[in-house]
Structure 1
Amino acid sequence: MSEQRGAPGVVRVIGTGLIGASLGLALGRRGVDVVLEDPSPTAVALARDLGAGRVGVDDDPPPDLVVVAAPPDVAATVVVGALTRWPDAVVTDVASVKTSVLAAVRSAVGPRRSGQLVRYVGSHPMAGRERSGAVAAQADLFEGRSWVVCPGPQAVPEATELVRATAALAGAAPVTMSPEEHDRAVAVVSHAPQVAASLVAGRLRDLPDPAVSLSGQGLRDVTRIAASDPLLWTQILTGNADAVLPVLDALAADLEEVRSALRTLLAETAAPRQEASRDGAPRGVLARAVARGNAGHARIPGKHGAAPTAYGSVVVLVPDEPGALGRLFQDMGVAGINLEDLHLEHGIGQPVGLAELAVLPSAVERLQQVLTDKGWRVHPPG
């Protein structure tokens, strides 16, 4: 392999779905020559027309980096093909699982071609959307997001650094982990949440319409990712079953504790004259479950990946009309108050929404006064 330094000049992206097309858009605006390839002529033409890169031709210069943006169940096959087609290029894939892909690549190249593994570095951008395909691609999809770089034991440092440099060029924050560390981590922070969101959302299927209409922001937050692609997630969960199953087993044990506590409380209600459970144990189980959730939530990184910050919130009634949010943000900006986060909940049967503005605690009182003076209806705290 020729020595690789700095950012790549030519990147070939194989697979022009959401991730592949978004990467093409991100790298293209940084001056990288992005060559697109996809088994579907329509898909690659669409990605080209959207500005993600150009379609490859026979006399293209060899790429510095090949990015395989194919589904997990075929990623290894495409990686092996790329290693053979471009003997001097570094090859990475962006599948959501890493150990099984590496094992499949290693098995496919075999002992005779094992030298190719020095040029293969698995990776995984921690970015995505519920929508799929090039039409959902965004040039800023990777901005501020982690991009996990997972070199295998035979990958050379130059190959790893090229993948890291490319991730940074796309706006991501590269993080290096072993494939095994990656799979164990995403089982908890990505794959189990997908299962939980899908199961909760699945309970809505047969709920009467009046009941579903009561859905608030909490349900929307919990089930947002339940709109994800079933085929893709079947492939991801299959590929990372070894890491996901222990996490779901632990969640099932926690859920059974809560179920058992509720059964005990129901029994107490049905027989109030019986002696209550010793030390209020079932209530303690429920409280501990919520408290453990508080503690875990507090560990989620805050803005720009920094340590979590406790923000204050101001809730404002916003008319559902063009320009209303813009006026609200402008009034905040004129007052010199920075918006740290935003949750917007639409009112049921009313042309209004509730905007929960997260700001630094020291700015809460001033923001309430500023917005009130500007004529906004600010909900009282608490």
Structure 2
Amino acid sequence: MEKVLVVGTGLIGTSAALALREKDVTVYLCDIDADAVRLARELGAGQEWTGQDVDLAVIAVPPHLVGESLADLQKQGAARAYTDVASVKVDPIADAERLGCDMTCYVPGHPLAGRERSGPAAARADLFLGRPWALCPGPETEAGAEQLARELVSLCGAKSVTVGARQHDSAVALVSHAPHVAASAVAASLESGDEVALGLAGQGLRDTTRIAAGDPLLWRMILSGNAQPVAGVLDRIAADLVAAASALRSGDLDDVTDLLRRGVDGHGRIPGKHSGPVRDFATVQVVLRDRPGELARLFNAAGLADVNVEDVRLEHSTGLPVGVAEISVRPQDTDRLADALRFHGWHVPPVPATHQVSQHRSQGCPR
């Protein structure tokens, strides 16, 4: 694959373009928003498309526009093969079939990666590293088209996962779309909170509501394309919440305890670092000052101690110029890391032996 056309220079399209440019693939960019193309070009994502033939066209537009874009590109004979990155698959495939698209050279796709920010300015070449990338080839899909789609995934550093379109939509309803709505519901409840309540907010609330900062209009389009599967998951979540509220009012907390336990079990099923099995890590807490270079110094000290940082979480202290970094490492590395950090002047609270190993889920260090 030498030449790729990216149609849609938002977060995902521009990130894919940047990743491909790092692998010396020639990338052409196309978008109805001329300013978005201009910015993507300035970021080094590629050059503007003026009709050149390419090996693969990556359609990075909202789900309801995928079929129309595919039809237009195929009429122009733009590429040998086509894929998309929409977060739902059943409706775009149905649209493409209805519009008479050639389905033999089309491989529906969806990278499971993103950010709360949108647009080309938020794009990153490493956005897809280690992430699953769903590919949903149909029975008529030609091997050459599927091979090009898999090459795209590999060049972007992601891991291809073959799945049926309907199974994909049910899966993302459970692990992505419904959680976003649930997080938005929690965040929306904060609108009625006073300054005292919000001043007491901790890292747990930030973690729970982080994804609620996504673009509402974009998420409206995503949810409308996967409405029934998402509604089913939300019905189950709502039933659990109603039962918990009823139990709290009655004072019989068995149902609440059961929900909390099932929550622990469900959390335990999320794949760990590099999509591998979950591992137990010890957590070392370090007090950070709010000044430039603190994290760099922290990681440098860990490196000098020959300790691999499996994960890190930052908890900010509201109104204070300090925070706490929770560093997850292998249990056998705990004492060595703590001693090294203290040697370099860090304040490291003692780790009680009974709490040294936590059921922490490592997802890899944030970049």
SS of the equivalent of 2:83 reads strand
Instruction: Structure 1 unaligned segments of length 5 or more: list them.
Output: 1-7, 266-281
State the AA in 2 paired with 1:83: Q
Amino acid at match of 1:346: H
Instruction: Could you tell me which runs of 5 or more consecutive residues in structure 2 were left unpaired when the two chains were aligned.
Output: 356-367
Residue 223 (structure 1) aligned with residue 209 (structure 2): yes
User: What is the alpha-carbon distance in structure 2 between the residues aligned to residue 373 and residue 29 of structure 1?
Assistant: 40
Contact 1:63 1:86 in 2 (8 A): no
Question: 1:136, 1:53 → 2: CA distance?
Answer: 16
Aligned to 2:289: 319
State the distance in 2 between where 1:21 and 1:374 align.
Answer: 41
- Please name the residue that 1:107 is paired with: 98
Q: What is the deviation of 1:299?
A: 1.3
Secondary structure, aligned partner of 1:89: strand
Q: Deviations over 1:42-88 (max 9, x none)?
A: 21121111111111224x2x111111100112121111212222176
Match of 1:23 among 4, 16, 39: 16
Aligned to 2:265: 295
Partner in structure 2 of residue 347 of structure 1: 317
1:54 corresponds in structure 2 to 47
Runs of 4+ in structure 1 deviating by more than 6 angstroms, as ranges, are none
* Residue pair 2:64, 2:91 contacting (<8 A) in 1 also: no
Match of 1:239 in 2: 225
- Residue 283 (structure 1) shift: 2.2
**2:244 is aligned with 1:258:** yes
**Pairwise CA RMSD:** 1.4
The aligned residue for residue 347 of structure 2 is: 377
Contact 1:102–1:152 (Cα < 8 Å) also in 2: no
Answer yes or no: is 1:362 the counterpart of 2:332: yes
The residue type paired with residue 102 of structure 1 is: I
Amino acid in structure 1 at the alignment position of 2:245: R
Which residue of the partner structure matches residue 33 of structure 1?
A: 26
Aligned to 2:275: 305
Cα contact 1:201–1:223 (8 A) shared by 2: yes
Of 172, 176, 193, the residue aligned with 2:158 is 172
CA distance in 2, matches of 1:370, 1:26: 36
% identical aligned pairs: 47
For the pair 1:13 / 2:6, whether they are aligned, the reply is yes
Give the superposition deviation at 1:286: 1.4
Amino acid at match of 2:159: A
How much does 1:376 deviate? 1.8
Give the 3-state SS of the residue equivalent to 2:71 in structure 1.
helix
**Equivalent residue runs for 1:86-105 within 5 Å:** 86=77, 89-105=80-96
CA distance in 1, matches of 2:13, 2:125: 11
Q: SS state of the match for residue 20, structure 2? A: helix
Alignment of structure 1 residues 93-172 onto 2, 5 Å = 93-109=84-100, 116-172=102-158
Q: What is the aligned residue count?
A: 352
| Partner residue, 1:333 | 303
Question: Residue 91 of structure 1 aligns to which amino acid in structure 2?
Answer: Y
Match of 2:59 in 1: 68
Q: CA deviation at 1:370?
A: 2.7
Retained in 2: the 8 A contact 1:72–1:235?
Answer: yes
Given the two structures, how large is their TM-score scaled by the length of structure 2?
Answer: 0.93
1:13 and 1:24 in contact (8 A); partners too: yes
Q: What is the distance in 2 between the residues matched to 1:163 and 1:323?
A: 40
CA-CA distance at 1:26 after TM superposition: 0.5
Contact preservation (8 Å) 1:127, 1:141 = yes
Structure 1 counterpart of 2:203, one-letter code: Q
**Matched residues in 2 for 1:174 and 1:88: separation?**
21
Kindly indicate whether the alpha-carbon contact (under 8 Å) linking 2:57 and 2:79 is maintained by their aligned counterparts in 1.
no
Give the deviation of 1:324 after TM superposition. 2.0
Q: Say if 1:183 and 1:240, in contact at 8 Å, map to a contact too.
A: yes
Q: Would you say 1:84 and 2:100 are equivalent positions?
A: no
Q: Distance in 1 between matches of 2:90 and 2:320?
A: 50
> 2-side partners of 1:210 and 1:263: how far apart?
25
The answer to whether the 8 Å contact 2:58/2:84 transfers is yes
Which is further off, 39-48 or 130-139?
39-48
Map of 1:275-286 to 2, 5 A cutoff? Answer: 282-286=252-256
Q: TM-score, structure 1 length as denominator?
A: 0.89
Structure of larger gyration radius: 1
